[in-house]
Amino acid sequence: MPPFRISAFGQPFRRFASTGAGSVGRQGGASAGGGGGGGREARDTIFLHRPLRLIIFTTKYLAFTHLFLEYGFWPSPASGPSMLPTFEVMGEWVLVSKWHRLGRGVSVGDVVAYNIPINDEVGVKRVIGLPGDYVLVNSPESASDAMIQVPQGHCWVIGDNLPASRDSRLFGPVPLALIRGKIIARAKPNWDFQWVRNPLRSPDQPSDA
């Protein structure tokens, strides 16, 4: 029997063993049966505790996994041409920092994962405007130079590949409440792991990821 089993139930085993051995010496074989009954009781105790330990372990594991995915990091596959050349069209995985959910600590230039306001999908885009910033409503090559001020509690997101991107130019400012996190790393199809850095930050500036 493994040591951790013994340490968990050592006291009952010692009690049953001493009772059975002592009785055999004084009363013969009649008391030996009593020792066997004690052994069965000990085994029943072990079998009763095994499901309990399994339930406790499973509960702790599920709770830790939930906290890790909800408030820690979330790996997710990424696909689509809207973020070329930053990300490939398909086959890549990204690591999302949930610490930045709801837009916490997000800066202009960061790449974020967010719930697209016009459907139930999750998008990946770059933040180019935060509350109070003025941004172009249309693409830079557009004939219109109309600008909009990003309202409080919102951000303005676009794709790096403008012609292939559906972003704030289509559905307007995105509520910060829809930000699911910041993309901090990527894994290419050949499992080449790379950090995703904000191009507006100097290389020697520490990241808040």
Among 105, 146, 145, smallest CA distance to 127 is for 105
d(CA 108, CA 186): 19
State the chain's mean pLDDT as an integer: 78
* Rounded-to-integer distance, Cα 79 and Cα 122, Å: 11
Report the candidate in 143, 147, 138 with the shortest Cα–Cα distance to residue 168: 138
Radius of gyration of the chain (CA): 31
Asked whether the beta carbons of 122 and 116 are under 8 A apart, the reply is yes
Q: What pLDDT does residue 192 have? A: 86
Residue type, 118: I
Residue numbers annotated as active site: 82, 125
Predicted pLDDT at 47: 52
- Please report where in the chains the tokens 């009952």 appear, as a residue: 12
Please state whether the predicted TM-score (pTM) of the whole model is above 0.85. no
For the ranges 88-92, 177-181, 186-190, the maximum mean pLDDT occurs at 177-181
Q: What is d(CA 143, CA 30) in angstroms, rounded to the nearest whole number?
A: 104
> Rounded to whole angstroms, what are the CA distances from 54 to 9, 42, 57, 65, 101?
16, 19, 5, 16, 33
- Whether 185 and 90 have beta carbons less than 8 Å apart is answered as no
Cα distances (angstroms) measured from residue 95 to each of 74, 81, 86, 188: 6, 18, 14, 12
- The three-class DSSP label of residue 131 is coil
Among 111, 114, 103, 143, residue whose Cα is nearest residue 128: 111
Q: Which of 126-130, 137-141, 163-167, 173-177 has the lowest mean pLDDT?
A: 137-141
Average pLDDT for 10-23: 38
The single-letter code of the amino acid at 49 is: H
Which CATH number applies to 74-195?
Answer: 2.10.109.10
Using one digit for the tens of pLDDT, what is the confidence trace for 49-94? 677 777 877 777 777 666 656 667 888 898 999 999 999 998 899 9
* SS3 call for 186: strand
